[in-house]
Structure 1
Amino acid sequence: MNSQARRIQSIYITLMLGNTLAASFIWGINTLFLLDAGLSNLEAFAANAFFTVGMVLFEVPTGVVADTVGRRASYLLGTLTLAGSTALYYLMWQISAPFWAWAVVSALLGLGFTFFSGAVEAWLVDALHFAGYDGTLEAVFGRGQMVSGVAMLGGSVAGGVIAQATTLGVPMLLRAGVLVAMFVVAYLLMKDLGFTPDRTTSPGKVVRGIWTSSIEHGLRNPPVRWVMLAAPFASGVGFYTFYALQPYLLELYGDPDAYSIAGLAAAVMAGAQVVGGYVAPHVRKLFHKRTTALIGGTVISAVVLLLLGITDAFWAAMVLLVVWSLIGAAEMPIRQAYLNDMIPSKQRATVLSFDSLMGNAGGVVIQPALGRTADVYSYGTSLAIGGAIQLLAAPFLIGSRRQHSPADTAVTVPGSPVADTVEPPDEELKR
């Protein structure tokens, strides 16, 4: 690896470290924070749903920023938006704000994250191509995930401990402060390489172009389309599970005020991200096709959620949580590499943002629905139903596999998407 490619990876890892550390201060206590503010389970998960509504609504408009102003600019706007909306969260908790206020600010949080989605990942891939990087994408994404896992481990444990020692609002203030620091870091280090923003057309025309590109290179591209259609089920259930585990583990533990236990759930997922990021390239080598790993992981994860929902033992739930987290963490870099290998560079940020939109759309519906199930029945029942919903993603992944995309068997992509290369010979398709 040359020095420029190494520097680009270092900047990417720094951004992932800072972003995840900031976010993870509240990941372990977010649901408890909302419930402490006076919201019911339905309202708390509805607030989370409005967060995903914000991501759905703003994915395309913020894609305009990434494609016309620059991906660095998009990242900088994201840090400022998230810092401001996090500060508003703290203020609403202080005054016990009504639900509508939580809905509005949650949507603003979603806006902040849409500035990140697609833009940072596209910035990395294009910059690596510009630098002449010839390694595997799984390795790069895996390293980023490992660093994110370390940050999430430290941030989530610290957030839970700090909340227990002080109040549930202090981790929110820490998050806002780290985001401001990341604005300064990105402003100094991040440069758009291998990509030239298009500033020659009007925003309206750009929006129409983004939708056209999203459809053309996303939903009209069969192997990409099937992966995107699987996203609402997997992502929606994943969002709910992450936040529902906080009160569920406290319920199994028997102490509703043990906030450090809630932080432990996020810490387990963080540790799984570190391990999953490390093993992802090795897991990839075990399967000739990437879709084999994705389909198998989806099915096993669904079964684990079912078992997690029916157990009544705290430590058994922790073991199942470890297994569920490890599978998801090992799958993610493989999925990222698979998608990136099928998308042209010029449309990469657009299509990745549209993929994020598809996953968030599932969260808009699934989170409040499962939250209501928890209100009426129990958290365990809602998790078991979530496992059944996640299983619905498997047929779509099978649909992608049946397209025999060269990206399914690719090892690395030097520049142009594998989707643009020639089809493999028939004997290769049969493996």
Structure 2
Amino acid sequence: MNDAARKIQRVYLTLTLGNTVAASFIWGINTLFLLDAGLSNLEAFAANAFFTAGMVLFEVPTGVIADGWGRRASFLLGTITLAASTYLYYVLWQISAPFWMWAVVSVLLGLGFTFFSGAVEAWLVDALRFSGYEGGLETVLGRGQMVQGVAMLLGSVAGGVIAQATNLGVPFLIRVFVLVAMFAVAFGLMHDVGFSPERSTHPLRATRAVLSASIENGLKNPPVRYVMLAAPFSAGVGIYVFYALQPFLLDLYGDPRAYSIAGLAAAIVAGSQILGGWLAPHARRLFHKRTSVLILGGLAGFVILLVLGFTRVFWVALVLLAFWAVVGSAATPVRQAYVNDMIPSKQRATVLSFDSLMGSSGGVVVQPLLGRGADLYGYPASLAMAGIIELISVPFLLASRRQGASADRANTEAVQSP
């Protein structure tokens, strides 16, 4: 890796670290926060579903903003929007607001995250290519996954401990502060490299043109399309399981107010992300095709969640949670590299946003469905059902594999030096 590529990687890892720390302060306690505000299990996961609905609604428009105005502009807008909506969440908790208010603000939270989803990854890939980097994307994306894990470990544990020492609202205020700081960091360090935004005096016409090209290179491209069609099942389950594990583990632990245990669950996922990010390029070299890693990951996730649904021992559940998180974390950079190698630079952010939209659309349906299942049959049964839903993604991944895309066999060289 040359000096220019190292600089790009450092900026990417810095942005990833700051953003994930900010977000993760509430990840370990979010479900408990909603339940403490007076929402039922159904309402709490419905609020999360409105969050993902916001991502569905705004993924493509914000992706077009990233491709039309610039990835830096999109990132800065995201920090502002997410900070404001997070503070509104804190206000709703203070006043024990009715559910419809939670639904509205959850949509705004989703809007905030959509400014990041395609923009940062698109910025990284284009800047690396411009700098002359020729290594496998799994290497850099895997490092990003490891940094995410470290940041999540710090943020989620701190969030749980702080909530237990103060109250469930304080971690939300800390998130606002960190996001404001990240705005300043991104303003100074992040600049569009290897990409020129196509600004137009006719924004609607430009939007239609970018969206049309994105569909052409996304849903109309068979190997990309099938990966996207798998996303609602795998991503929808992932969102539900992460948040359902908080009350599930507290039930097994036997203390409903042990918020640090909820933080520990998120921390284990974070540690698993670190390991998974390190494993990603190594796992890639074990197989001739990237889709092999994705398919095995889907099958393993199904088995682990099914077993987790029948587990009644707290420490066994923690071990299974760690295995589930490692499998998913190792597969994620491989999936990102596979998709990025099949789409052009000009529409990269929009296609990636559309891919994220597909995953979020699964969360809109899966979260309230499994949340209702938890109300009726308990969290263990809902986790077993989640495993069955994740299994549905595997046939789509097999269909993508059958297309024989060159990206499926791309770069398998050794890990690059940092």
TM-score range, shorter chain: over 0.9
User: Is it true that 1:102 corresponds to 2:102 in the alignment?
Assistant: yes
For 2:222 and 2:275, the matched residues in 1 are separated by: 32
For 1:89 and 1:225, the matched residues in 2 are separated by: 35
Corresponding residue number in structure 1 for 2:56: 56
For 1:298 and 1:119, the matched residues in 2 are separated by: 26
Q: Deviations over 1:171-216 (max 9, x none)?
A: 0000010000000000000000111001125221123223312321
For 1:146 and 1:309, the matched residues in 2 are separated by: 28
TM superposition outliers: structure 1 runs of 4+ over 4 Å: none
Counterpart code for 2:103: A
In the TM superposition, residue 229 of structure 1 has moved relative to its aligned partner by 0.3
For 1:209 and 1:254, the matched residues in 2 are separated by: 56
Alignment of 1:129-144 (within 5 A): 129-144=129-144
Identity level (%):
71
Aligned length: 413
Counterpart code for 2:281: P
Alignment of 1:218-367 (within 5 A): 218-367=218-367
For 2:64 and 2:295, the matched residues in 1 are separated by: 33
CA contact (8 A) 1:60 1:354 kept: yes
User: Is it true that 1:213 corresponds to 2:213 in the alignment?
Assistant: yes
In the TM superposition, residue 59 of structure 1 has moved relative to its aligned partner by 1.1
Deviates more, 1:171-180 or 1:56-65: 56-65
Give 3-state SS (helix, strand or coil) of 1:343's partner.
coil
Root-mean-square deviation (CA, aligned residues, Å) is 1.0
Corresponding residue number in structure 2 for 1:66: 66
For 1:352 and 1:37, the matched residues in 2 are separated by: 35
CA contact (8 A) 1:60 1:210 kept: no
Counterpart code for 2:188: L
Q: Deviations over 1:294-342 (max 9, x none)?
A: 0011001111001111111111101100100000000000000000011
Counterpart code for 1:340: N
CA contact (8 A) 2:117 2:352 kept: yes
Counterpart code for 1:402: R
Corresponding residue number in structure 2 for 1:9: 9
Give 3-state SS (helix, strand or coil) of 1:167's partner.
coil
For 2:135 and 2:61, the matched residues in 1 are separated by: 33
TM (norm. structure 1) is 0.95
CA contact (8 A) 1:64 1:203 kept: no
CA contact (8 A) 2:31 2:244 kept: yes
For 2:144 and 2:99, the matched residues in 1 are separated by: 36
For 1:131 and 1:337, the matched residues in 2 are separated by: 18
For 1:2 and 1:13, the matched residues in 2 are separated by: 16
Corresponding residue number in structure 1 for 2:416: none
Alignment of 1:403-414 (within 5 A): 403-411=403-411
For 1:249 and 1:343, the matched residues in 2 are separated by: 41
Corresponding residue number in structure 2 for 1:127: 127
Counterpart code for 1:328: G
Give 3-state SS (helix, strand or coil) of 2:356's partner.
helix
In the TM superposition, residue 64 of structure 1 has moved relative to its aligned partner by 2.5
CA contact (8 A) 1:137 1:412 kept: no
CA contact (8 A) 2:24 2:152 kept: yes
For 2:65 and 2:393, the matched residues in 1 are separated by: 31
Counterpart code for 2:244: A
CA contact (8 A) 1:223 1:400 kept: yes
Give 3-state SS (helix, strand or coil) of 1:257's partner.
coil
CA contact (8 A) 2:284 2:412 kept: no
In the TM superposition, residue 400 of structure 1 has moved relative to its aligned partner by 0.3
In the TM superposition, residue 62 of structure 1 has moved relative to its aligned partner by 1.1
Deviates more, 1:9-18 or 1:344-353: 344-353
Corresponding residue number in structure 2 for 1:79: 79
CA contact (8 A) 1:213 1:350 kept: no
For 2:278 and 2:60, the matched residues in 1 are separated by: 33
TM (norm. structure 2) is 0.98
